[in-house]
Structure 1
Amino acid sequence: MLISYDWLKRLIPLDKPATEVAARLTDSGLEVEGVHTFEQVKGGLQGIVIGEVLTCEKHPDADKLKVTTVDIGEAQPKNIVCGAANVAAGQKVIVATENATLFPFAGESFQIKKSKIRGAVSEGMICAEDEIGLGASHAGIMVLDTDLPNGTPAAEYFGLASDTVFEIGLTPNRADAASHFGVARELQALYHTRCQLPDISRFKINNTSRPINIEIADPEACPRYAGLTITGVRVGDSPAWLRNRLKSIGLSPINNVVDITNYVLHELGQPLHAFDADKIAGNIIIVKRAEEGTSFVTLDGVDRKLQASDLMICNAAEPMVIAGVFGGKNSGVTAETTSIFLESAYFAPASIRRSSQVHGLKTDSSFRFERGTDPNMVLYALKRAALLVQEVAGGEISSEINDIYPKPIEPFQIRISLDRVHRLIGQFIGVERIKAILTDLNILISEETETHLTLSVPPHKVDVTREADIVEEILRIYGYNNIVLHDNISASYLAKFPHPNPEELKQVVFNLLSGSGFSEIITNSLTDSGYYETAENPDGQLVRIVNYNSEDLDVLRKTLVFSGLEVLRRNINRKQKDLKAYELGKVYQKAGDKYKEQQMLALFLTGNTAAESWLQKSDKATFHYLAGVVQNVLVKLARTDYTLQPLQHPYLTAGVAYQKNDIVVAELGLLEERVCKKLDIKEPIWYAELNWDYLVRNYKNQLVFQELAKFPEVRRDLSLVIDRNITFDQIKSIAQRTERKLLQDINVFDVYEGDKIEAGKKAYAISFTLLDKSQTLTDKVIDGTMNRLMQQFEKQLGAVIRK
Structure 2
Amino acid sequence: MKISLSWLKDYIDVNNLKIDELEELLTQTGLEVEGIEKFETIKGGLEGIVVGEVLTCDKHPNADKLKVTTVDIGEDEPSHIVCGAPNVDAGQKVLVATVGTTLYPEDSEPFKIKKAKIRGEASYGMICAEDELGIGTSHEGIMVLNTDLPAGTPAAKYLNIESDQIIEIGLTPNRADATSHVGVARDVHAVTGNKIQWPDINSFSTTNTQPPVKVVVENKEACPRYSGVTIEGVEVGPSPEWLQNKLRAIGLTPKNNVVDITNFVLHEIGQPLHAFDVAAIDNNEVRVKTLPKNTVFTTLDGEERKLHEKDLMICNGKDQGMCIAGVFGGEKSGVTEKTTDVFLESAYFNPDYIRSTSQRHLLKTDASFRYERGTDPNICLYALKRAALLIKELTGGEIKGEVIDIYDKPVEPVTVNMKYKNIDRLIGIKIDKQKIKEILERLEIEVSNETEEGFVATVPTYRVDVTREADVIEEIIRIYGLNNIPLRETLSADYLSSFDEKDPGKIYTTTAHYLAGLGFHEIMSNSLTKPQYSDAVEDLNSEEDVVILNKLSEDLGVMRQTMLFGGLEAIARNQNRKQNNLKFFELGKTYRKKGDSYQEGYKLALFVTGDAVEENWQSKAIEADFHYLYGKVLTLLKKFNFDNITNERTSDGVLADGLTLFSNKTPLVKLGLVKNDLTAINDVKMPVWYAEFDWDKMIDKKDNSVVYNEISKFPEVRRDLSLVIDKNISFDDLKETAFKAERKMLKRINVFDVYEGDKIEEGKKAYALSFVLENKDKTLTDKMIDQSMQRLIKAFEKHNNAYIRK
Please report the TM-score for the alignment, with normalisation by the length of structure 2. Answer: 0.63
What are the within-5 Å matches in structure 2 for residues 56-455 of structure 1? 56-206=57-207, 208=209, 211-317=212-318, 318-455=320-457
The change in CA–CA distance for 1:61 and 1:346 in structure 2 (over 3 A counts) is: same
Separation in 1, partners of 2:185, 2:335: 31
Q: Specify the code of the residue in structure 2 equivalent to 1:228.
A: V
Alignment partner of 1:473 out of 472, 475, 478: 475
What corresponds to 1:701 in structure 2?
A: none
What corresponds to 1:570 in structure 2?
A: 619
Kindly indicate whether the alpha-carbon contact (under 8 Å) linking 1:227 and 1:344 is maintained by their aligned counterparts in 2. Answer: yes
What corresponds to 2:547 in structure 1?
A: none
Q: Specify the code of the residue in structure 2 equivalent to 1:113.
A: K
Question: What is the count of residue pairs matched by the alignment?
Answer: 527
Deviation at 1:399, TM superposition (A): 1.3
Structure 2 counterpart SS, 1:258: helix
Q: Specify the code of the residue in structure 2 equivalent to 1:88.
A: D
Kindly indicate whether the alpha-carbon contact (under 8 Å) linking 1:67 and 1:80 is maintained by their aligned counterparts in 2. Answer: yes
What are the within-5 Å matches in structure 2 for residues 672-683 of structure 1? none
Deviation at 1:511, TM superposition (A): 6.2
Separation in 2, partners of 1:616, 1:352: 43
Q: Specify the code of the residue in structure 2 equivalent to 1:183.
A: V
Deviations 1:64-123 (A, max 9, x none): 111111121122221111100000111111000111000112221111111111121111
Deviation at 1:448, TM superposition (A): 1.2
Q: Is it true that 1:483 corresponds to 2:532 in the alignment?
A: no
What are the within-5 Å matches in structure 2 for residues 477-626 of structure 1? 477-489=479-491, 515=521, 567-568=616-617, 570-571=619-620
Structure 2 counterpart SS, 1:193: coil
Structure 2 counterpart SS, 1:367: helix
What corresponds to 1:745 in structure 2?
A: none
Kindly indicate whether the alpha-carbon contact (under 8 Å) linking 1:207 and 1:396 is maintained by their aligned counterparts in 2. Answer: no
Deviations 1:118-146 (A, max 9, x none): 12111110001111011111121011122
Deviation at 1:147, TM superposition (A): 2.2
Larger CA deviation: 99-108 vs 465-474: 99-108
Structure 2 counterpart SS, 1:274: strand
Deviations 1:595-651 (A, max 9, x none): xxxxxxxxxxxxxxxxxx9767999xxxxxxxxxxxxxxxxxxxxxxxxxxxxxxxx
Kindly indicate whether the alpha-carbon contact (under 8 Å) linking 1:207 and 1:397 is maintained by their aligned counterparts in 2. Answer: no
Separation in 2, partners of 1:93, 1:199: 41
Separation in 2, partners of 1:379, 1:198: 13
Separation in 2, partners of 1:378, 1:454: 27
Deviation at 1:261, TM superposition (A): 0.3
Could you list the runs of 5+ residues in structure 2 that have no partner in the other structure? 495-509, 522-578, 584-612, 625-678, 687-806
Q: Specify the code of the residue in structure 1 equivalent to 2:285.
A: I
Kindly indicate whether the alpha-carbon contact (under 8 Å) linking 2:210 and 2:402 is maintained by their aligned counterparts in 1. Answer: no
Structure 1 counterpart SS, 2:472: helix
Q: Specify the code of the residue in structure 1 equivalent to 2:476.
A: I
Deviations 1:241-284 (A, max 9, x none): 00000001100000000000000000010000000012111111
Larger CA deviation: 345-354 vs 114-123: 114-123
Kindly indicate whether the alpha-carbon contact (under 8 Å) linking 1:81 and 1:122 is maintained by their aligned counterparts in 2. Answer: yes
Q: Specify the code of the residue in structure 1 equivalent to 2:619.
A: R
Structure 2 counterpart SS, 1:362: coil
Deviation at 1:404, TM superposition (A): 0.5
Deviation at 1:508, TM superposition (A): 12
The change in CA–CA distance for 1:316 and 1:89 in structure 2 (over 3 A counts) is: same
Structure 1 counterpart SS, 2:148: coil
Deviation at 1:512, TM superposition (A): 11
What corresponds to 1:26 in structure 2?
A: 27
Q: Specify the code of the residue in structure 1 equivalent to 2:5.
A: Y
Q: Specify the code of the residue in structure 1 equivalent to 2:428.
A: G
Q: Specify the code of the residue in structure 2 equivalent to 1:335.
A: E
Kindly indicate whether the alpha-carbon contact (under 8 Å) linking 1:227 and 1:342 is maintained by their aligned counterparts in 2. Answer: yes
Structure 2 counterpart SS, 1:571: coil
Kindly indicate whether the alpha-carbon contact (under 8 Å) linking 2:211 and 2:402 is maintained by their aligned counterparts in 1. Answer: no
Deviation at 1:489, TM superposition (A): 3.2
Separation in 1, partners of 2:367, 2:143: 43
Runs of 4 or more, structure 1, over 6 Å off, are 507-514, 516-520, 613-619
What corresponds to 2:14 in structure 1?
A: 14
Q: Specify the code of the residue in structure 2 equivalent to 1:136.
A: T
Separation in 1, partners of 2:205, 2:268: 22
Separation in 1, partners of 2:168, 2:127: 37
Deviation at 1:316, TM superposition (A): 1.0
The change in CA–CA distance for 1:284 and 1:489 in structure 2 (over 3 A counts) is: same
Structure 2 counterpart SS, 1:34: strand
Q: Specify the code of the residue in structure 2 equivalent to 1:177.
A: A
Kindly indicate whether the alpha-carbon contact (under 8 Å) linking 2:211 and 2:403 is maintained by their aligned counterparts in 1. Answer: no
Kindly indicate whether the alpha-carbon contact (under 8 Å) linking 2:211 and 2:404 is maintained by their aligned counterparts in 1. Answer: no
Structure 1 counterpart SS, 2:449: strand
The change in CA–CA distance for 1:65 and 1:327 in structure 2 (over 3 A counts) is: same
Kindly indicate whether the alpha-carbon contact (under 8 Å) linking 1:206 and 1:396 is maintained by their aligned counterparts in 2. Answer: no
Alpha-carbon RMSD:
2.7
What corresponds to 1:2 in structure 2?
A: 2
Deviation at 1:208, TM superposition (A): 3.4
Kindly indicate whether the alpha-carbon contact (under 8 Å) linking 1:52 and 1:93 is maintained by their aligned counterparts in 2. Answer: yes
Deviation at 1:487, TM superposition (A): 2.3
Kindly indicate whether the alpha-carbon contact (under 8 Å) linking 2:27 and 2:33 is maintained by their aligned counterparts in 1. Answer: yes
Could you list the runs of 5+ residues in structure 1 that have no partner in the other structure? 493-503, 521-563, 577-612, 620-803
Separation in 2, partners of 1:218, 1:566: 70
Q: Specify the code of the residue in structure 1 equivalent to 2:7.
A: W
Structure 1 counterpart SS, 2:302: coil
Deviations 1:196-245 (A, max 9, x none): 21011111114637521111111111000010100000000000000000
Deviations 1:664-721 (A, max 9, x none): xxxxxxxxxxxxxxxxxxxxxxxxxxxxxxxxxxxxxxxxxxxxxxxxxxxxxxxxxx
The change in CA–CA distance for 1:618 and 1:108 in structure 2 (over 3 A counts) is: farther
Q: Specify the code of the residue in structure 1 equivalent to 2:233.
A: G
Separation in 2, partners of 1:617, 1:81: 78
The change in CA–CA distance for 1:120 and 1:447 in structure 2 (over 3 A counts) is: same
Structure 1 counterpart SS, 2:44: helix
Q: Specify the code of the residue in structure 1 equivalent to 2:41.
A: Q
Kindly indicate whether the alpha-carbon contact (under 8 Å) linking 2:614 and 2:620 is maintained by their aligned counterparts in 1. Answer: no
The change in CA–CA distance for 1:508 and 1:385 in structure 2 (over 3 A counts) is: same
Separation in 1, partners of 2:260, 2:348: 21
Q: Specify the code of the residue in structure 2 equivalent to 1:352.
A: I
Kindly indicate whether the alpha-carbon contact (under 8 Å) linking 2:207 and 2:402 is maintained by their aligned counterparts in 1. Answer: no
Deviations 1:4-42 (A, max 9, x none): 111111111221112211110001100010111110110
The change in CA–CA distance for 1:200 and 1:570 in structure 2 (over 3 A counts) is: closer
Separation in 2, partners of 1:336, 1:254: 14
Q: Specify the code of the residue in structure 1 equivalent to 2:216.
A: E
What corresponds to 2:461 in structure 1?
A: 459
Separation in 2, partners of 1:211, 1:230: 9
Q: Specify the code of the residue in structure 1 equivalent to 2:151.
A: N
Structure 1 counterpart SS, 2:401: coil
What corresponds to 2:49 in structure 1?
A: 48
Separation in 1, partners of 2:2, 2:463: 20
What corresponds to 1:589 in structure 2?
A: none
Separation in 1, partners of 2:386, 2:213: 19
Q: Specify the code of the residue in structure 2 equivalent to 1:568.
A: W
The change in CA–CA distance for 1:567 and 1:270 in structure 2 (over 3 A counts) is: closer
Deviations 1:359-412 (A, max 9, x none): 111000000001000111100000000000011111100110010000000000
Separation in 1, partners of 2:267, 2:58: 54
Deviations 1:780-802 (A, max 9, x none): xxxxxxxxxxxxxxxxxxxxxxx
Structure 1 counterpart SS, 2:36: strand
